[in-house]
């Protein structure tokens, strides 16, 4: 259950998947009563509570947001102490001028990119994965 630590294997087997839907990052000091299943992630900062959720849910609860994002999941079970995966993913996307917001969860890493960049981001990460897989052979 610990997950993969080896960067080469992580990259070779990350299998990025584009999730359906539109997602947003919202911030609030007084979150409305939102059912837990409607929130993908949250993080408390001194400036406010960040909520990651479907755009539709944010609209339903009147939460403002600035950017509409696509959600990609790296389906490899990565260890929470693996070194270099998020850096490699962010660097590959950065080389293609694609901004990304990385979120690490227990089993997988998740990447949020602008909706307009979603397909290009998946293609970029799949190319990175193929290159890593070829290097393992």
Sign of CA dihedral 7, 13, 14, 16: positive
pLDDT attached to residue 56: 97
List per-block mean pLDDT (blocks of 10 residues) for the chain, which spans 137 residues. Answer: 90 97 94 88 94 97 96 96 96 98 96 98 98 93
For residue 7, give the nearest of 81, 117, 103 by alpha carbon.
Answer: 81
pLDDT attached to residue 30: 81
pTM confidence score:
0.94
- What architecture (CATH level 2) is domain 1-20+72-137? 2-Layer Sandwich (3.30)
Going from N- to C-terminal start, the domains of the chain cover 1-20+72-137, 23-67
pLDDT attached to residue 6: 93
Contact 34, 80 (CB under 8 A): no
pLDDT attached to residue 1: 66
pLDDT attached to residue 123: 98
pLDDT attached to residue 2: 81
pLDDT attached to residue 46: 95
Give the integer Cα–Cα distance in Å for 2 and 18. 24
């Amino acid at each position: 259950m610990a997950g993969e630590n080896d960067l080469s294997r992580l990259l070779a087997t990350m299998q990025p998947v584009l999730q359906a839907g539109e997602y947003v990052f919202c911030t609030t000091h007084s979150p409305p009563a939102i059912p837990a299943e409607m929130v993908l992630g949250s993080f408390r900062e001194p400036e406010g509570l960040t909520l990651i959720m479907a755009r539709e849910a944010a609209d339903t609860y009147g939460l403002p947001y600035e950017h509409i994002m696509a959600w990609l999941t790296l389906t490899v079970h990565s260890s929470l102490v693996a070194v270099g995966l998020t850096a490699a993913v962010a660097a590959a996307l950065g080389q293609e001028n694609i901004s990304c917001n990385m979120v690490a969860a227990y089993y997988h890493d998740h990447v949020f990119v602008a909706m307009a960049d979603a397909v290009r981001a998946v293609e970029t990460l799949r190319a990175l994965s193929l290159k890593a897989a070829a290097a393992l052979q």
